[in-house]
């Protein structure tokens, strides 16, 4: 076999390889599109199974809600992705999938003020293993995809969308009386900090983050990001009295709930001490 013939064979193989690669590349977009559709379908199917296992007992088999247990999810005010009326009403700045994903992952340590009159028996639990729940992130994403598959929703909202009125201003307590309520010596002991950490993990971590830096998933999309307790410059502007007021009475304009009725006075102070521990700001 002559050298020229070998060169010709090599050129033909090279050209054939290039043609195959070009044809494969031309079809790559269609192939990837079909793959993404198949993956999305499998994700929704998996989400349907998780929903039946974990969610249907409170929110209904078709997301219609169950009286006394959980609100409907398959509803027009939540899943109208163009107008997003529910998200606007509660001041959520993110997307609908973000809201649903974060609610599933972080739960609701406080009952929603939007459904305050429904008298639900239990709080929405934390489902993501990142916050002590049983589900992996991919399972939370699958649940989100399944719920989003109902968009734009079938059921009307249970209650009218109205802007909530601001409640009466609580009677101010003199600062000196607030500080007298601290039930342990200052600075707090390691045991007090440890007990505050436990309370923080159960009630605050979802929004303020595992590292107390304000980066928890429950705070994504909020009008104002949750407080970063590791920012010592910012925390220096937050006195003990102000910190106590925010924890007890909340900040409705930012989505910060009031904890005064859920936590005892001692528990409130333990949480505050743990939140102030990164900057050691224990004095008035």
**How far apart are the C-alpha atoms of 24 and 31, rounded to whole Å?**
9
279: CB partners within 8 A, 6+ apart = 229, 230, 232, 235, 236
Please report, rounded to a whole number, the percentage of residues in the chain having pLDDT higher than 70: 76
What is the reported pLDDT for 86?
87
Q: How far is CA 263 from CA 221, 233, 244, in A?
A: 26, 28, 12
**How far apart are the C-alpha atoms of 236 and 145, rounded to whole Å?**
42
What is the reported pLDDT for 170?
59
Closest CA to 110 of 275, 263, 274: 263
What is the reported pLDDT for 187?
93
List, for the chain, all residue ranges whose pLDDT scores fall below the cut of 50.
35
215 touches 206 (CB < 8 A) = no
Closest CA to 127 of 145, 103, 151, 148: 103
What is the reported pLDDT for 130?
79
**How far apart are the C-alpha atoms of 236 and 50, rounded to whole Å?**
45
Place of tokens 């009630």: 203
CB-facing half-sphere around the CA of 53: CA atoms within 13 A: 13
141 touches 101 (CB < 8 A) = yes
Mapped onto helix, strand or coil, the DSSP state of residue 66 is strand
What is the reported pLDDT for 28?
55
pTM tops 0.85, yes or no: no
199 touches 232 (CB < 8 A) = no
**How far apart are the C-alpha atoms of 166 and 22, rounded to whole Å?**
64
Closest CA to 211 of 232, 229, 237, 191: 229
Domains present along the chain, CATH in parentheses: 1-66+74-165 (no CATH), 175-279 (1.10.760.10)
What is the reported pLDDT for 30?
63
What is the reported pLDDT for 274?
97
**How far apart are the C-alpha atoms of 166 and 72, rounded to whole Å?**
26
**How far apart are the C-alpha atoms of 70 and 112, rounded to whole Å?**
11
**How far apart are the C-alpha atoms of 160 and 220, rounded to whole Å?**
25
Place of tokens 């600062």: 175
């Amino acid at each position: 076999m002559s050298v020229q013939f070998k060169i010709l064979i090599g050129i033909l193989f090279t050209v054939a390889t290039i043609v195959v690669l070009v044809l494969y590349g031309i079809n790559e977009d269609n192939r990837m599109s079909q793959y993404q559709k198949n993956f999305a379908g499998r994700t929704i199917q998996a989400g349907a199974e998780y929903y039946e296992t974990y969610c249907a007992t409170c929110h209904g088999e078709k997301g219609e809600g169950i009286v006394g247990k959980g609100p409907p999810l398959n509803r027009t005010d939540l899943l109208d992705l163009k107008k997003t009326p529910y998200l606007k009403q509660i001041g959520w700045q993110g997307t609908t999938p973000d809201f649903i994903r974060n609610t599933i992952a972080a739960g609701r340590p406080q009952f929603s003020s939007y459904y305050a009159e429904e008298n639900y028996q239990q709080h929405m639990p934390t489902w993501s293993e990142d916050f002590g729940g049983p589900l992996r992130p991919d399972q939370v994403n699958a649940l989100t995809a399944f719920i989003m598959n109902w968009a734009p929703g079938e059921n009307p909202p249970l209650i009218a969308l109205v802007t909530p009125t601001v409640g009466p201003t609580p009677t101010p307590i003199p600062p000196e009386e607030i500080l007298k309520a601290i039930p342990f010596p200052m600075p707090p002991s390691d045991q007090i900090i440890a007990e505050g950490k436990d309370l923080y993990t159960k009630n605050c971590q979802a929004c303020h983050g595992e590292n107390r830096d304000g980066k928890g998933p429950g705070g994504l999309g909020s009008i104002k990001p949750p407080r970063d307790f590791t920012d010592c410059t910012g925390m220096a502007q937050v006195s003990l009295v102000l910190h106590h007021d925010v924890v007890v009475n909340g900040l409705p304009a930012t989505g910060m709930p009031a904890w005064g009725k859920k936590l005892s006075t001692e528990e409130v102070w333990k949480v505050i001490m743990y939140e102030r521990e990164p900057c050691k700001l224990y004095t008035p």
